[in-house]
Amino acid sequence: MEFKTFTIGGVHPADKKITAGVAIKPLAIPATVTIPCAQHIGAPAEIIVQKGDKVKVGQLIAKANGFVSANIHSSVSGTVKMIGPVADVSGYTKQAVTIQVEGDEWEETIDRSPEIKHNIDDFKPEDIINKVHDAGIVGMGGATFPTKVKLSVPLGKKAEAVIINAVECEPYLTADHRVMLERGEELMVGTQLIMRAVNCENAYIGIEQNKPDAIKYLTDLSAKYPGIKVVPLKLKYPQGSEKHLIEAVTGRQVPSGRLPIDVGAVVDNAGTAVAIYEAVMKNKPLFERVVTVTGDSVKNPGNFLVRIGTPISALIEAVGGLPEDTGKIISGGPMMGKAVTTTEIPVAKGTSGVLILPETLAHRGEVENCIRCGKCVDGCPMGLEPYLLAALAQRKNFEELENNHVTDCIECGCCVFSCPSNRPILDFVRFGKQSVMKIIRARKK
Amino acid sequence: MDNVIVVSVLILSGIAVLAAVILYVIAKKFKVEEDPRIDLVAECLPGANCGGCGYAGCRNFAEACVKDFAGKVCTAGGNDVMKKVADVLGVEAQAADAKIAVVRCQGSKDCRPKTNSYEGAKTCAIVAATYGGETGCAFGCIGLGDCENVCQFGAIKVNKETGLPEVNDEKCTGCGACVKACPKIVIELRKKAVKFRKVYVSCVNKDKGATAKKACSNACIGCGKCAKTCPFGAITVENNLAYIDFEKCKMCRKCVEQCPTGAIREENFPPRKPKEEAPKQLNTPSGADKVEVSKEPQKINLEKPSENKE
């Protein structure tokens, strides 16, 4: 078997996929859920329910506010208890809808039968895109970019390859891996729907070599689905980054400041493809997702089907509570996830995992001087010079930062991972990137 | 051999004289005419290049002053410096209100417990861009000293014990560099009063009362008692946060007594002796008595500044 990969940079963190063999279990519905209005990149959705309203599972509670925005649906049935600011993963407060759960009554339009539908020819491309928009689907790998925008290919551009991102290069996380094994058929039909929506004949499913069972299963399945090919990939972080996956699969590099569609690629996550299948074929909006709850000293780590808005404390309880040696709780994976400040934060559309790190792994090493070894430059998958960007950001030299393409940084953390002096390179680069983005936006106005 | 030395000395001297002549001619011909007053004005200025005036440095400000003096204020130097500048330029100086930096956060380590610990780069700007901070309050001071680093006058220092910056009133010039550097907009420039007296809401937390109080025992909970008490209408409560307008405030300090959390601070006032005794005697719920007592310290305070002026 031939394994492909991208060319520049990359690192090899230990993959620690503890939960790879644990089947997805539905998590009990909590007593209350808190559903934030800003679960996607772009404008926060506009709340359309009021305090005291009765809602059903799958009912629209917040409407997309602009082109780059997404609908938000209730994940439970019950009464709206509160509408107000609630702390999210960043520790800042954002508008959210809190719902008191009463029973589990679904909208009648949702098809709950387990039968797998294959009638993709019944839907026109516009129908698929509209249904994806109505269902509030966003990129479920963690970037949470509204999928409708990705599927709307701009005039004059042509999609030449649909790529399903099933790389899951973050250590520990296995949500997509389990989805592939347990919902392979749905994934295939979902992929066909994406191909139909963007009018493209070829689709590739990129899977890293540490998931041989998924590669084998989907390769066998793909025989029944013309145009879909499984592409096995070498193990390298950050292969799950959109731009790097495109290069690994097609050999084309996305130029600086351009979008995947500029090289003819449309990339969607494996979980997103299944969500698209459910939205189109079963009328089911995105209100639940698979979350990996794991960690080195967690008692019963596993993969759970979780309603959006469930507090992560409920997830931690489901795996046997917080281990005694807990040092840090991360929403997402260890490389790009965010440490949380409270366990009350809700699961959002982009929460792929909850990682409980023991004290021994939770801390950064002591910061020492830069020894100019250049490991960060070797590691950077975007071909940037992280040490230089960090130094420029520290001096607030935003002009030079822009000249050195700081805005190309994907914040993957390879530089910090490879730094022998434990320098907080990414902290500075991220600050520099944010500041430069602000300057660029101000200039456009 | 001697000839070689003599010849080379002569040749080099010749070149030197020639160069001097060329330089002299060029200097005369291409001389930039500059107003001599710019140098004189620049000499009057503090020379810290703090940028508080809005110009790139003191010399740029001096040039601007010579061009058009009206409306220009050296924030760091204050009225004294502007008077000197006005004398140099032979115009009348307009008095401007002197400003002083005020740190609006009392979330010291004791009253604002840590909920997590931060290990990233040690600057406030990066913490603010990354997340809500080490405590339950996402609005207050981060305490890593970006303000201290930008202050050209050594007027603001982070107190290691409380974790909060403190302004040295004598040294602060009101240039506003710290205000710009603070990513949380905790620091504010307020009008400088007699003897550096200050009455201000020392909190910027916009959370609802219960959330704010849970995060910090000194937080403003937006109860509005101060706004009701203020006889001058100087206090407004917006987004669960009170703010005292320094233009309207007469420093009667009634609000300080009313504040249930101690979020309103008074600084550099003489200790209030009558008040300490008064509440002990006053256990009866009679409203009339209370009004009388609370008036007393106000009278004294209003008199004292005038005494000082004399």
> Mind listing the pLDDT tens digit for each residue in B44-66?
888 888 888 888 889 999 988 88
| B9: in domain | no
**What chain B residue is nearest to A366 in terms of C-alpha separation?**
B119
pTM of the predicted structure, to 2 decimals? 0.83
Output the pLDDT for position A215: 95
Give the closest-approach CA distance of B219 to chain A in angstroms: 17
Residue B299 forms part of a structural domain: no
Q: Do A342 and B115 touch (CB under 8 A)?
A: yes
Percent of chain A whose predicted confidence (pLDDT) is above 90: 84
Residue B307 lies in a domain: no
Confidence (pLDDT) at B273: 66
H helices, E strands: number in chain A: 14, 17
Structure tokens given for A175 = 């949500």
Cis peptide before A212 (omega within 30 of 0): no
* A-B C-beta contacts closer than 8 Å: 43
Q: What's the mean pLDDT in A161-186? A: 94
Task: Give pLDDT tens digits for A285-338.
Answer: 999 999 999 999 999 999 999 999 999 999 999 999 999 999 999 999 999 999
Mean pLDDT of chain B: 84
Q: Is residue B274 part of a domain?
A: no
Any domain includes B23: no
pLDDT at residue B1 in the model:
65
Query: Is residue B222 domain-shared with residue B132, that is, in the same domain?
Result: yes
Tell me the Cα Rg of chain B. Answer: 28
Task: Look up the domain containing B64 and give its range.
Answer: 36-89
> What is the C-alpha R_g of chain A?
21
B110 and B85: one domain?
no
Residue A178 has pLDDT above 80, yes or no: yes
Tell me the residue length of chain A. 445
Cβ contact (<8 Å) for A87 and B129? no
| Lowest model confidence (mean pLDDT) among A158-172, A394-408, B62-76, B238-252 | B62-76
Task: State the smallest CA–CA distance between residue A233 and chain B in angstroms.
Answer: 33
Residues B163 and B246 in one domain: yes
Please answer yes or no on whether A363 and B119 come within 8 Å at the CB atom.
yes
Structurally, chain B folds into a number of domains equal to: 2
The chain-wide mean pLDDT, for chain A, equals 93
B26 pLDDT more than 50: yes
Is residue B43 located within the same domain as residue B167? no
> Minimal CA–CA distance to B172: which of B185, B153, B196?
B153
- For residue A372, the distance in angstroms to the closest alpha carbon of chain B comes to 19
Same domain, B71 and B103: no
A394 contacts on B by Cβ (under 8 Å): 121
List the 109-148 stretch of B: residues with Cβ below 8 A of A. 115-116, 119-121, 125-126, 129-133, 138
- Return the DSSP state at A89: T
- B201 and B144 co-located in one domain: yes
Distance, CA of B307 to CA of B194 (rounded, Å): 11
Of residues B205, B206, B201, the one with CA closest to residue B234: B201
Judge whether A427 is closer than 8 Å to chain B, CB to CB. yes
Average pLDDT over residues B191-206: 90
Higher pLDDT, B284 or B94: B94
Q: What is the pLDDT of residues A7-65, one digit of tens each?
A: 999 999 998 999 999 999 999 999 999 999 988 988 999 999 999 999 999 999 999 98
CB A247 within 8 A of CB A159: no
Give the separation between CA B117 and CA A91, rounded to whole angstroms: 13
| Each residue's pLDDT tens digit, A342-394 | 888 999 999 999 999 999 988 998 999 999 999 999 999 999 999 999 999 99
Which residues, numbered 198 to 257 in chain B, qualify as contacts with chain A under a Cβ-Cβ cut-off of 8 Å?
Answer: 207-208
Is B94 domain-assigned? no
Is residue B126 in some structural domain?
yes
Give a yes or no: residue B14 inside a domain.
Answer: no
Nearest to B132 among A90, A424, A431 (CB): A90
Map out the domains of chain A with their CATH numbers: 26-101 (2.40.50), 120-282 (3.40.50.11540), 288-362 (3.10.20.600), 375-444 (no CATH)
The DSSP letter of residue B135 is B
DSSP H helices in B110-237:
124-130, 146-150, 177-181, 209-215, 225-229
Nearest CB partner across the interface for B121, out of A363, A427, A434: A427
Nearest by CB to B132, from A91, A364, A434: name it.
Answer: A91
Q: Smallest Cβ distance to B129: which of A84, A341, A434?
A: A434
d(CA B61, CA B71): 12
Cα A350 → chain centroid? 5
**Are residues A428 and B116, on separate chains, in Cβ contact within 8 Å?**
no
The alpha carbon of residue A410 is apart from the nearest alpha carbon of chain B, in Å, by 15
Distance CA A236, CA A245 (A): 11
Q: Which chain B residues have a beta carbon less than 8 Å from that of A339?
A: 116
From start to end of B97-196, where are the E strands? 99-103, 156-159, 164-167, 187-191
Contacts of B208 in chain A (CB under 8 A): 84
Contact B106, B164 (CB under 8 A): yes
Q: Give mean pLDDT, residues B158-176.
A: 90
Nearest residue of chain B to residue A342 (CA atoms): B115
CB contact under 8 A, A342 and B133: no
Q: How far is B28 from chain A (nearest CA, A)?
A: 39
| pLDDT on residue B186 | 94
For the residues B249-278, what does the mean pLDDT come to? 82
> Among residues B23, B56, B89, which one ends one of the domains?
B89
Do both B203 and B236 map to the same domain? yes
- Do residue B71 and residue B194 come from a single domain? no
- pLDDT-derived band of residue B294, with 50, 70 and 90 as boundaries? very low
Q: What is the largest CA-CA distance in chain A?
A: 63
A149 vs A137, A267, A275, CA distance in Å? 10, 12, 15
Q: Smallest Cα–Cα separation from A198: which of A112, A93, A268?
A: A268
**Residue B24 contacts A, CB cutoff 8 Å:** no
Interface of A with B in 357-386 (CB under 8 A): 363-364
Residue B167: give its domain's CATH number: 3.30.70.20
At which of B66, B89, B112 does a domain end?
Answer: B89
Is the complex ipTM higher than 0.90? no
Q: Are residues B115 and B186 in the same domain?
A: yes
DSSP state, residue B114: B
Residues of A in Cβ contact (< 8 Å) with B138: 87, 91-93
Under an 8 A CB cutoff, do B121 and A424 touch?
yes
**Closest by Cα among A149, A131, A141, A138 to A269:** A141
Smallest CA–CA distance, residue A39 to chain B, in Å, is: 16
* Separation CA A257–CA A28 (nearest Å): 43
Chain B contact present for A441, CB below 8 A: no
Of chain B, the end-to-end C-alpha distance in Å amounts to 86
Cβ separation of B121 and A341 shorter than 8 Å? no
In this prediction, residue B274 carries a pLDDT of 60
Whether residues B192 and B45 fall in one domain: no
Are residues B135 and B74 part of one domain? no
Task: Verify that B76 and B108 share a domain, yes or no.
Answer: no
